[in-house]
Amino acid sequence: MELKTVEWKDNSVIMIDQTKLPNTLEYVTYTDYNQVAEAIRTLVVRGAPAIGVSGAFGLALSSLQSGATKKDELISYMENAKKILFETRPTAVNLVWGLNKIMDIANKANTVNEIRNNVVESAKKMAEDDIQINMSIGKHGSELISDNDTIMTHCNAGALATVGYGTALGVIRATKDSGKNIKVIATETRPIQQGSRLTAFELKHDGIDVSLIPDTAVGYTMANGLVDKIIVGADRILRTGHVYNKIGTYQVATMAKQHNIPFYVAAPLSTFDMKSNPEDVIIEQRDASEVTGIGDKKTAPDGINVINPAFDMTPPELISGIITENGIVKPPFQKSIKELFTPN
């Protein structure tokens, strides 16, 4: 059974509740954009492309919820919904990309009916495109992988972080489908164990050979020759090639450099932010309780200070290539990324 992370059905948004995985595969149904905003905030849905599409679906829902009869009224209702959806998570750029795309569609329509129809259809199309884009990323990326390679991945950049198929895990799926034999090492990925709860779940679900390691075993596995290549996803990529991804990615990349192991990033064009500079990017800070305990069990002294960032930045000099739906870009990234966005 293929996992579909987020879907539009009968004027409602259906999502896998990822907070319940891997123990329970449960779906939730939303008819109010505020519920979608809460789902993004609380990681019911997560992963940059998945929250981009969820934001778009949330905004499409808002157009149906509003009782507006005039275009201006509906646009202002949707602008307010956009703000609420936008404020849920600050780091992944796909969210603002999805929201802006839907607002543009709404602004271009002439009547309230046209707005409602066009934004729903566009959000649905965005979800369909996401799967196709991931399959293209997978196809390009699989050319980098040799038979019998062991690939390390960090966080979850799979079907569950997208609408389906995945970015980094899309490369792994496409490589397997091309007939090559591969193994995967997945880090458990703090905070909240996206790697063990989601990546390991997904790969096992698909019958891919996966071993789970603690984040602290990254150096050990590389130093002992257990890793041939690394592929991770991204939440935001700047025009300079600076990559923002789940906390710990920078450590994995640094360790890869130390051991001469190629380090690749897989992401759609919607993850590129061609305007911001590193100092503009907000790194989400998460609750201290994720570090001071495991489940209900307390593992740290009361009142301890905690630093718990959700993402870090990997500088371009640690990255061997970025795999996109339009091909693989290599260093120097300032030049190759610019070319990626320049029409022929």
Q: Which is nearer to ligand MRU, 62 or 156 (CB)?
A: 156
**Piece of 29-37, 219-227, 232-240, 255-263 that binds ligand MRU (CB under 6 A):** 232-240
Which one, of 192, 196, 206, 191, lies nearest residue 153 by Cα? 196
> Cα-flanking dihedrals φ and ψ of residue 93, to 5°?
-80, -15
Does 21 interact with ligand MRU (rule: CB under 6 A)? no
Distance between CA 283 and CA 55 in Å, rounded?
A: 19
Sheet of 209-213, strand order: 209-213, 183-187, 150-153, 229-232, 263-266, 321-324, 327-329
Cα–Cα–Cα angle for 289, 84, 128, nearest 5°?
A: 95
Using CB under 6 A, which of 16, 37, 47, 118 touches ligand MRU?
47
Residues 6+ apart with CB under 8 A from 290: 190, 191, 192, 308
For residues 199-236, one letter each, b for 16 or more C-beta atoms within 10 angstroms of the residue's C-beta and e for the rest, the string is bbbbbebbebebebbebeebeebbeeeebbbbbbbbbb
Min dist. Cβ of residue 97 to ligand MRU (A): 13
| Residues β-bridged to residue 244 | 236, 313
The footprint of ligand MRU on this chain (CB under 6 A) covers a number of residues equal to 18
Shortest Cβ 260–ligand MRU spacing (Å): 24
Which C-beta is closer to ligand MRU: that of 105 or that of 255?
Answer: 255
Does 157 participate in binding ligand MRU (rule CB under 6 A)?
yes
Of these residues, 206, 235, 280, 296, which one is catalytic?
235
β 297-298/272-273 pair status = unpaired
Question: What's the closest the beta carbon of residue 59 comes to ligand MRU, in angstroms?
Answer: 19
48 binds ligand MRU (CB under 6 A): yes
Task: Find the binder of ligand MRU among 8, 15, 46, 98 (CB under 6 A).
Answer: 46
Interface with ligand MRU, residue 66, by CB under 6 A: no
C-beta atoms surrounding 56 within 10 Å: 33
**Of the candidate residues 54, 122, 193, 194, the single one contacting ligand MRU (CB under 6 A):** 194
Residues 69-128 that bind ligand MRU (CB under 6 A): 92
Residue 98 identity: G
Identify whether 235 is a catalytic site residue: yes
Between CA 324 and CA 50 the distance in angstroms is 16
235 binds ligand MRU (CB under 6 A): yes
Stretch that binds ligand MRU, among 71-79, 153-161, 180-188, 328-336 (CB under 6 A): 153-161
State yes or no: residue 162 binds ligand MRU (CB under 6 A).
Answer: yes
Q: How far apart are CA 309 and CA 214, in angstroms?
A: 18
The residue of the chain with the least Cβ separation from ligand MRU equals 233
Maximum alpha-carbon separation in the chain? 66
Figure out which of the listed residues 310, 329, 337, 340 binds ligand MRU, where binding follows CB under 6 A: 310
Active-site positions? 235
Task: Please give the residue ranges that form the binding site for ligand MRU (CB under 6 A).
Answer: 46-49, 92, 155-157, 161-162, 167, 194, 233-235, 245-246, 310
